Amino acid sequence: MTILFISDLHLDSERPAGIEQFLSFIAQEASQADALYILGDLFEVWIGDDSTELSNAPIIEALANLELKGVPCYFMHGNRDFLIGKRFAAATGCKLLEEYEVVEIGGTRVLLTHGDLLCTDDKPYMELRKKLRNPSWQKDFLSKTLDERKTIAANIREYSQQAIAEKPQEIMDVNQDSVAKTMAQYGVNLLLHGHTHRPGIHHFDLDGTNATRIVLGDWYEQGSVVRWNTEGYQLENIT
């Protein structure tokens, strides 16, 4: 048994090397696995399933091929690709997950999430998130032309980058109280997420029991993956 977890690939036509790395990961390692979980921000930006961006085609094809090989793929929205919808799911065969999902692997209950929901110290981001996740905002956005959407997405990105540059680093990490509360709510001792681009494995006490938080890294300089097999899990880089 091997279950793979990845996140924060931020695939973008302007970074073809990243796309190549993802395609070879899918064709080689993921094709041999028993399941693949993508925990958000597969794409740098996603303006709708009707996007005509040419660089998306091989990515969608690779995921569809994975499904044909009998490897189930699960996708969870990130803060960049939260508009991925049913059409993408149908084209790739990926099953769309909710923002929190508990899966059981080798007898262990694992809570999966992208990670941004746990960054509760970042109040302006949480406000922006609320707006962008509102169904009526999304309906209005998706009714615009692709060019209009590209412009709006670029503006949001610029606003975010400016805001990020002005924020202290610790504000943009997860809030430990939010982590503990959420893990207790779902009844898990293990949490796996991405988003912060701070890969690591953190052990801590959760109401008197040992708890673990695994953080996937981004794919800017190299890939990052959690491989879970019969011996347990490992967080590793892919070069």
From CA 74, how far away is CA 191, in angstroms rounded? 17
CA 237 to chain centre: 16
Closer Cβ to Mn ion, 92 or 113, answer by number: 113
**Position 182 contacts Mn ion (CB under 5 A):** no
**Minimum CB distance to Mn ion, residue 100 (Å):** 15
Q: Which is nearest to 167 in space by CA: 204, 136, 123?
A: 123
Q: Kindly state the smallest distance separating residue 79's Cβ from Mn ion, in Å.
A: 4
Query: Closest by alpha carbon to 4, among 226, 237, 216?
Result: 226
Instruction: Name the segment binding Mn ion (CB under 5 A); options: 74-82, 97-105, 153-161, 214-222.
Output: 74-82
Task: Single out the residue of 19, 63, 66, 78 in contact with Mn ion (rule: CB under 5 A).
Answer: 78
Minimum CB distance to Mn ion, residue 123 (Å): 17
- Sheet of 190-193, strands arranged across: 101-105, 108-112, 190-193, 209-215, 200-206
User: At closest approach, how far in Å is the CB of 104 from Mn ion?
Assistant: 25
Q: Does 195 bind Mn ion (CB under 5 A)?
A: yes
Q: Which is nearer to Mn ion, 144 or 198 (CB)?
A: 198
Q: Which is nearer to Mn ion, 10 or 149 (CB)?
A: 10
Q: What is the per-residue binding string for Mn ion in 22-61, x denoting contact by CB under 5 A?
A: -------------------x--------------------
Residues 78, 7 contacting (CB under 8 angstroms): yes
Give me the residue whose beta carbon is nearest to Mn ion: 195
Tally of residues, the chain: 239
| Residues with Cβ within 8 Å of residue 116, at least 6 apart in sequence | 78, 79, 125, 129, 195
Task: Give contact residues for Mn ion (rule: CB under 5 A).
Answer: 41, 78-79, 195
